[in-house]
């Protein structure tokens, strides 16, 4: 019995426990970052750790609130992939600082690229859910992007043994000659998404702004990180994008819930009035009928007042 009560208590306060565990994890990462020999690694690890924690909180909340809404399911998938991308970048910096074996660094860095591709394409699927990609050209372009994503992924895996995207030599990460190419593909996809968002007739202005920011932030961050190695810009930019879209979604959900609550209250009032009115009419007419025998003048005045009341309410 005590175990059951404990389980109920933990489940009831699970949100607080989640935050507590994440804070403990964040403190552990920050303690590790403070012991790093490189200031660049310490900064990137700290930035990615904070971004990862915030992304995980958003992702957990989305998972609990998604319900049966298709667009919310898609955004939850985007959130999970974004969290995975940021976490992979964090693990990559930790592996680099710890001088981990080449295989581990290869695995983490490859996972980061693949998760970035997956997050970008899932966001494209999310954009399609909102915009519809109404015309034929946009639908063809949409399917072309997914085919290109598959081809880029295959090409990336095939180029890895030759060190073309990147390589790890003596536990040191080195960008390969084709590194810019693999960074260019997500930029191209986000530009297409942004074009579809701005051209859509289904989206409101605030929706266009929030979705465009999701595209715009990585578009700014990727060139910065490409030109300045050691700046964890993409993880932060993806987190900013995630937060803005998340905030827009839940503002709209709150407005919708308030509207539904108002409609429900109004329906209840109307139902109650519809139940009361027949009784009120019967009682009033009965009272006037009794007055006709006892006080005809009062009955006449009551009939006039009652007709005015009915006219106002029916209008």
pLDDT tens-digit series, residues 111-130: 988 998 999 999 888 888 87
Question: What are the pLDDT digits (tens) for 220-234?
Answer: 887 777 776 666 678
Is the pLDDT at 172 greater than 80, yes or no? no
- What is the predicted pLDDT for the residue at 118? 92
Higher pLDDT pick, 52 / 270: 52
Environment class of 229 (CB within 10 Å of its CB; exposed 0-12, middle 13-18, buried 19+): exposed
Q: How far is CA 81 from the centre of its chain?
A: 11
pLDDT band at 139 (very low <50, low <70, confident <90, very high): confident
Distances (CA, A) of 194 to 198, 208, 240, 258: 6, 9, 16, 31
CA distances to 42, 113, 233 from 225, rounded to whole Å, are: 16, 14, 6
Per the CB < 8 A criterion, the answer to whether 215 and 193 are in contact is yes
**Distance separating alpha carbons of residues 211 and 188, to the nearest angstrom:** 16
pLDDT tier at 215 (50, 70, 90 boundaries)?
A: confident
Alpha-carbon gap, residue 98 to 80, rounded angstroms:
26
At 154 the pLDDT is 92
Asked whether the predicted pLDDT for residue 3 surpasses 70, the reply is: no
Q: Residue 188 CA to chain centroid, in angstroms?
A: 22
Q: What are phi and psi of 159, to 5 degrees?
A: -85, -15
> CB-hemisphere CA count at 13 Å for 281?
9
Three-class DSSP category at 266: helix
Between 101-115, 175-189, 267-281, the lowest mean confidence (pLDDT) is in 267-281
Q: What are phi and psi of 169, to 5 degrees?
A: -115, 125
Kindly state the average pLDDT of the residues 138-155.
88
Q: Which residues contact 20 (CB under 8 A, 6 or more apart)?
A: none
pTM recorded for the entire structure: 0.75
Cβ pair 302, 288 in contact under 8 A = yes
Interatomic CA distance for residues 174 and 302, integer angstroms: 95
**pLDDT reported for residue 1:** 45
């Amino acid at each position: 019995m005590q175990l059951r009560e404990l389980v109920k208590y933990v489940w009831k306060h699970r949100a607080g426990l989640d935050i507590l565990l994440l804070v403990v994890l964040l403190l552990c990462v920050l303690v590790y970052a403070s012991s790093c020999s490189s200031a660049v690694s310490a900064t990137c690890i700290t930035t990615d750790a904070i971004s990862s924690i915030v992304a995980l909180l958003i992702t957990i909340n989305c998972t609990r609130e998604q319900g049966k809404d298709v667009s919310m399911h898609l955004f939850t998938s985007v959130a999970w992939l974004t969290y995975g991308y940021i976490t992979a970048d964090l693990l990559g910096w930790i592996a680099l600082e710890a001088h981990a074996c080449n295989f581990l660094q290869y695995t983490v860095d490859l996972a980061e690229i693949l998760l970035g591709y997956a997050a970008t394409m899932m966001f494209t699927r999310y954009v399609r859910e909102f915009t519809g990609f109404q015309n034929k050209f946009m639908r063809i372009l949409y399917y072309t992007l997914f085919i290109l994503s598959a081809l880029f992924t295959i090409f990336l895996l095939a180029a890895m043994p030759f060190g073309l995207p990147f390589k790890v030599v003596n536990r040191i990460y080195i960008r390969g000659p084709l590194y810019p190419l693999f960074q260019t593909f997500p930029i191209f996809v986000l530009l297409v998404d942004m074009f579809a968002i701005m051209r859509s007739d289904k989206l409101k202005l605030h929706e266009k702004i929030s979705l465009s920011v999701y595209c715009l932030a990585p578009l700014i961050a990727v060139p910065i990180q490409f030109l300045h190695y050691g700046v964890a810009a993409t993880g932060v930019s993806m987190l900013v994008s995630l937060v803005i879209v998340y905030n827009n979604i839940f503002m709209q959900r709150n407005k919708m819930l308030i509207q539904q609550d108002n409609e429900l209250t109004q329906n209840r009032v109307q139902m109650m009035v519809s139940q009361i009115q027949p009784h009120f009419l019967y009682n009033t007419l009965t009272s006037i009928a009794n007055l006709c025998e006892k006080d005809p003048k009062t009955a006449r005045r009551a009939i006039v007042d009652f007709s005015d009341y009915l006219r106002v309410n029916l209008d």
